Structure 1
Amino acid sequence: MKTVTEFSRKVVEFPDMGIVMPDGCRLSARVWMPEDAGDDPVPAILEHLPYRKRDGTIFRDQLTHPYFAGHGYASIRVDMRGNGDSEGLMDDEYSEQELQDACDVIAWAASQPWCNGNVGMMGISWGGFNCLQVAAKQPPALKAVISLCSTVDRYADDIHYKGGCLLIENFGWASTMLSYSSRPPDPLLAGDNRWRDLWLTRLENQSFLAPLWLKHQHRDAYWKRGSICEDFSAVKAAVLSIGGWHDGYRNTVSHLASNIEAPVKGIIGPWIHKYPHYAGPKPAIGFLQEALRWWDRWLKGVDTGVESDPAYRAYVMDSVRPARWHPERPGRWVAEQEWPSSNIKTQTVDLIPSTEKPSIVASPQSCGLAGGEYFPFTFGPELPGDQRPDDALSVCFDQSELSQAIDIVGAPEVEVRLSSDRPQANIAIRLCDVHPDGASELISYGVLNLTHRNSHEFPEALVPGETVFARVVLDQCGYRVPPGHHLRVAVSNAYWPAIWPSPEPVRLTLS
């Protein structure tokens, strides 16, 4: 990857620009801007994160923000309240205080003599979440956002619950955030004595977030707040949504492209949980160039052609041998001018059991070990491996060998009739590409707490022995299955370590 360091406008950097909130709390920002911005004001771009700009995201920031500054923007990377070099305390993710702080930073930036009054907001993961939530609050100066690897539904499509099943990431990420927020500010910025006082205050008041998240196991008001799917029309800023097929947040690009009423475009590639200008598996894209086109149009009023871009650009991955890591995924880009697209045709397939006997699903808890990480972070063995070990612990429905290739783009759905011998049960369904030699590659999967079969807000216990209907929606995917291969639908009632087990061993009967 080539790193550009010379630009049309000379860049200056401010490592610790203080932004004081209305309550007196000082937030620390690392800011890059053109040297002459005071004479020739520029738009501002905000990234508002808890991940410590002095060490946590330092290298990523240096690959991104100076580029925008060199092309005529003030790029502002703020440590959220209670993190890094900022004062205060953080008591939860996406709190009202966090979102209000972002709105106040936007208003502050718009009022600076070096800013032309227009502001954009961007981010990946946490920053992708909060820029959408801030956009729904409609701060007047916010004109555009770029949201990467994010969600529109905090309950159904984050690291806490999936299909009403408790995700193990709930605990891992709570521990990660505890470690981030417990670290001290940089003494070089905070001062010899002040840094220690700020650190001790954090240590004495830091909360472990997992118990709070566990108190809200249904889709209640706690999760609805900040879930922009509650009212997509609240987002008035132009939205560019970007995601990756090997990330945990595969569904958001489609949801935003389908529902946002403001100008919106979507791009999804073969990537893990990374910015796509340095992500893997390859091919990467020129994210900085795409972002600059977006900013120039909505923050400077330059006709860059983004409004004529396809509504939805997706990378359709070719079939590959199962492996825990792929440096590159062969495939091709497809572009749809509208989304949902009339070019996508729904195919319905009946799952026929191999015998006339009822299919009994009673998976051991080890089923799921081939699933990989929930959202891979590193360029290493974190992707799903060969699915045959999990297939052997599941009830599988194999389709006929394909005579011609099929492209699967969208969210597969599986409808099942079943009964349970316990009042609570989970179900996991995987869609796999089976090679001629039997190797099984994961295409997509979905899980469902069967007490949530009708509602995530109002669960209903199963009556043992009573047949019920359930629909399991799998994650969005873009995948080509070649001729000579066949599709497999694998059904289990365990998917460890992705989801927490049912409270008792369960037998499901498919009918």
Structure 2
Amino acid sequence: MVGAQTAETGVRTGPRKVREIENIWIPMSDGTKIAARMWLPEDAESNPVPVLMEYIPYRKRDGASLTGSSRLRDEAIHPYLASYGYACVRADIRGSGDSEGLPQDEYVKQEQDDGVEIIAWLARQSWCTGKVGMFGISWGGYSALQVAARRPPELKAIITVCSTEDRYTEEPYHNGLVGEDMFGVGWGVHYPAYCCRPPDPAIVGHRWRDMWMERLKNVDYYPVTWLSHQQRDAYWKHASISVDYGAFECPVYAVGGWFDPLHRTVPRMLANLKCPRKGLVGPWGHEYPNYSDRGPGPAIDWLAESLRWWDHWLKDIDTGIMDEPMYRVWMQEEPMMRGVHQIPGRWVAEDSWPSSRIKPRKLYLTKDGLESNPGAETARVLKPLQTVGTTAPGWMVRRIKDAPTDQRIDDARSLTFDSEPIKDDFEILGAPVVTLELAVDKPVALLSVRLNEVEPDGLSRRITYDVLNLTHRDSHEFPEPLVPGQRYRIRMPLEDCAHVFKSGRRIRVAVSTSHWPSYWPSPEPVTLTLYAGRSELELPVRPPRAEDRELKAFGPPFSP
């Protein structure tokens, strides 16, 4: 172990003093060395501790990521955890930061192979108890899932935040559609730029320029590769644990935010995994739950909550965390809108997921709106319009400015179906489902469905939505063109949500053939015919749960 710098860190609240080691080298079996930064309790050599590892390409020395400065974030998280008796390790993935090797595409096998080797090396050190945990947000959350799927024996538990277990269905494709954020000015541009940055001469010495030139010669523009795999093929199945949920054995705490596009991963994993698991979804964007200055809130003391998880699985301390309900969410009492920093609501929970307490309530899309009876069949036609979607231009909410605005402009360009004013408040939890009978006049078409709540003054606020490439209506692996004019019956779950519908307001379903600029449009403008009386909305209604009032309260977020 080689340290470039060693110092005592000041960010801690736990009982153990911590020293920071700016760089350690972790050898791989092929001779490549992985660079990592470490925070270690000062007495770890005589009193060994478990390891918590974060494994990402965002440059431990100076890195910035799409969720903010990774170095500043490291200094807010790792020393805190270390002060409670953990060795915290922040490793640069091969070919990134100060690590040796060449840049790589996302989530390649070599990355997971290295992850398994890193875990084994850490577990062998004299200051380690032999137990390792992994955690991270976004790429770090993916890494934790993907390495855990390899079942390294030393890895005892993980926390994954704002990630997904299915690489194809969430990013860069979603339901067969190309996400602008992945291929446009967002991640598709940023990631190759990250790969082009040099290592730090203070860490790698005189080799830095040669290492940098090798990176520049070998970096690729990865969106070209992504675009060459437009179906859910072997490229996307690799490192997607959804391919075989039953093979995943590592205890997992899955965390998401209602305003992050990856939040549906949490209920999916709770429903499909068999290993010990917990889920938490709060009023957040693509961010850790303890940050409220950058996006919607309220934030929570996530570091304390994560400690309860680690102490249970890595130290065999009964923290009570596994006696609590499996799934905890923020029940929103008002929809999120741009400029709103704190989302009114309360914490609720379900003992298991799916929950047998959730009951469907069906409403029909009719010529008169949303009604409890289907009524007569009526054809409603939407002429081509490619600009629907501008009231919610951000696919991924990272900041308040990315949030949806008043939906009325997009509603006016869509087919809309409104209920009568709601008589009594009721809440939903889960994925609303629309079943639409429709026809289109082109072989390739996009379908967008938004579920809104409309106030008496006309303000329309989005509760949830989803989109679908209709050629993927039956399969993401084997899409089939549509037959123009032929009627299809499309069942389409919307994104999971938790919301209280208030009395006096209306429920609106808005249907369109574009969702720009979040998703690339169809190659040709599409005329949609929707058959009212043959189409329906199913809401996952959640009855009150008295035990919600007794849930363990989250503390305010820790600020170093």
2:498 aligned with 1:478, yes or no?
A: yes
CA distance in 1 between counterparts of 2:112 and 2:522 reads: 36
Q: Report the TM-score when normalising by structure 1.
A: 0.97
CA distance in 1 between counterparts of 2:45 and 2:11 reads: 24
| Equivalent position SS for 1:194 | helix
Q: Alpha-carbon deviation of 1:176?
A: 0.8
Q: Paired residue for 1:468?
A: 488
Amino acid at match of 1:187: P
Q: Paired residue for 2:394?
A: 373
Q: Paired residue for 2:182?
A: 170
CA distance in 2 between counterparts of 1:185 and 1:128 reads: 24
| Equivalent position SS for 2:476 | coil
Q: Paired residue for 1:231?
A: 244
Q: Alpha-carbon deviation of 1:393?
A: 0.8
Q: Paired residue for 2:419?
A: 399
Q: Paired residue for 2:7?
A: none
Q: Is the 8 A contact 1:430 1:490 kept in 2?
A: yes
Q: Paired residue for 2:153?
A: 140
1:222-371 aligned at under 5 Å gives the runs 222-279=235-292, 280-320=295-335, 323-354=337-368, 357-371=378-392
Question: Could you list the runs of 5+ residues in structure 1 that have no partner in the other structure?
Answer: none
- Greater shift, 115-124 or 257-266, is seen at 257-266
| Equivalent position SS for 1:370 | coil
CA distance in 1 between counterparts of 2:312 and 2:383 reads: 55
2:90 aligned with 1:83, yes or no?
A: no
Write the deviation string for residues 316-375 of structure 1: whole angstroms up to 9, x where unpaired.
11125x631321011011011111112211111111123975211234221101113111
Structure 2 counterpart of 1:457, from 463, 468, 477: 477
Q: Paired residue for 1:54?
A: 61
CA distance in 2 between counterparts of 1:55 and 1:404 reads: 53
Q: Alpha-carbon deviation of 1:195?
A: 1.1
Write the deviation string for residues 256-305 of structure 1: whole angstroms up to 9, x where unpaired.
11122111001110001111111442211111111111111111111111
| Equivalent position SS for 1:281 | coil
Structure 2 counterpart of 1:155, from 153, 168, 181: 168
Write the deviation string for residues 399-454 of structure 1: whole angstroms up to 9, x where unpaired.
11101112121011111111111111110000001111111111111111111111
Question: Could you list the runs of 5+ residues in structure 2 that have no partner in the other structure?
Answer: 1-9, 64-69, 370-376, 532-560
Amino acid at match of 1:84: G
User: How many residues are treated as equivalent by the alignment?
Assistant: 505
Q: Alpha-carbon deviation of 1:475?
A: 0.7
Q: Sequence identity, in percent?
A: 48
CA distance in 2 between counterparts of 1:340 and 1:83 reads: 40
Amino acid at match of 2:323: S
Runs of at least 4 residues off by over 2 Å = 3-7, 353-357
CA distance in 2 between counterparts of 1:309 and 1:242 reads: 15
| Equivalent position SS for 1:99 | helix
CA distance in 1 between counterparts of 2:428 and 2:193 reads: 40
Q: Paired residue for 1:26?
A: 33
CA distance in 2 between counterparts of 1:323 and 1:232 reads: 35
2:16 aligned with 1:14, yes or no?
A: no
Amino acid at match of 1:62: E
CA distance in 1 between counterparts of 2:340 and 2:323 reads: 33
Q: Is the 8 A contact 1:423 1:464 kept in 2?
A: yes
Amino acid at match of 1:425: A
Q: Paired residue for 1:216?
A: 229
CA distance in 1 between counterparts of 2:160 and 2:150 reads: 16
Q: Is the 8 A contact 2:103 2:218 kept in 1?
A: no
Q: Alpha-carbon deviation of 1:506?
A: 0.9
Structure 2 counterpart of 1:106, from 98, 115, 119: 119
| Equivalent position SS for 1:347 | strand
Amino acid at match of 1:365: Q
| Equivalent position SS for 1:231 | helix
Q: Is the 8 A contact 1:137 1:234 kept in 2?
A: no
Q: Alpha-carbon deviation of 1:4?
A: 5.5
Q: Is the 8 A contact 1:394 1:492 kept in 2?
A: yes
What RMSD in Å do the two structures reach over aligned CA positions? 1.4
Q: Is the 8 A contact 1:277 1:285 kept in 2?
A: yes
Q: Alpha-carbon deviation of 1:461?
A: 0.9
| Equivalent position SS for 1:254 | helix
CA distance in 1 between counterparts of 2:194 and 2:391 reads: 29
Q: Is the 8 A contact 2:11 2:75 kept in 1?
A: no
- Greater shift, 56-65 or 5-14, is seen at 5-14
2:206 aligned with 1:185, yes or no?
A: no
Q: Is the 8 A contact 1:362 1:493 kept in 2?
A: no
Q: Paired residue for 1:199?
A: 212
Q: Paired residue for 2:6?
A: none
| Equivalent position SS for 1:432 | strand
| Equivalent position SS for 2:167 | coil
| Equivalent position SS for 2:149 | helix
Amino acid at match of 1:422: K
